[in-house]
Amino acid sequence: MAANSVSFSPLASARAKFVLLGAAGVLEHRVARSVRSLKHFEHINTDLSDNSGEGRTVHRGPGARERLIRDMRHWFFSRKKNHGFLLQGFPADTFEATLLDEWLDCRDESLSGCLWLDMSRDEALSQARRRVACRDHGQVAYVEAGETHQCELCGATMSDDSEQAVAEVDTWFAERAAVAEQTAAYYRERGQLFRFDASRTSFEEVAGVAAAVTVDR
């Protein structure tokens, strides 16, 4: 699918620092996959529930938020100054957004922006119903009815992943959509929000806007 092969190369050379907001289990996977192919652009996904090494295991249970914040603080201050990143799942609310801003201030850095891939629940569900995945590699894709898709890593035909995807969308809208809106408002007030109608925006547009607002310093 063409939408999956968009290059995020404008972000690669820049010291772009982005927060990605959007419904878990749908569209951000595609953005994330494009970003993952870039070696010096760090993608941190605190929503990942597997141990693929491409992100962090989701934190749940008592003290989970404190552990997540501690891990993220450690990551932030360990990274090389001004190296680009795309954060997904953190900050999840305005409290965490405030923390991230404080950390950036500490190192005299600033966020390039918050990319909000806004999508209605109905649209997210309709996308989720088209998700296929490679069980071995966690690669996902979205196909039209009757289409098949091969895993880019092993070549195997991906299998129906819609049940899992629909569950992720349901959970996200029940637990996090309202908070994501508040987080978006936080960045809007600071002039850092870039909202996309995720049901109709191409990934070229997202990449183009992201590149345009990136300050290289």
The minimum distance between CB 132 and Zn ion, in angstroms, equals: 11
Q: Which is nearer to Zn ion, 52 or 202 (CB)?
A: 52
Q: Which is nearer to Zn ion, 119 or 141 (CB)?
A: 141
**Is residue 104 within 8 Å of residue 114, measured between CB atoms?**
no
Task: Count the residues of the shown chain that bind Zn ion, applying the rule CB under 5 A.
Answer: 6
Q: What does R_g of the chain's alpha carbons equal in angstroms?
A: 17
- Nearest one of 32, 27, 34 to 44, comparing CA atoms: 32
Applying the rule CB under 5 A, the residues between 133 and 162 that interact with Zn ion are 134, 136-137, 151, 153-154
| Residue whose structure tokens are 């993952």 | 36
**Is residue 168 within 8 Å of residue 24, measured between CB atoms?**
yes
The minimum distance between CB 157 and Zn ion, in angstroms, equals: 10
Q: Which is nearer to Zn ion, 98 or 157 (CB)?
A: 157
Applying the rule CB under 5 A, the residues between 84 and 143 that interact with Zn ion are 134, 136-137
Q: Which residue's beta carbon is nearest to the bound Zn ion?
A: 151
Reading phi first (left if > 0) and then psi (alpha if -120 to 50, else beta), residue 90 is in beta
Q: Which residues in this chain contact Zn ion in the complex, by CB under 5 A?
A: 134, 136-137, 151, 153-154
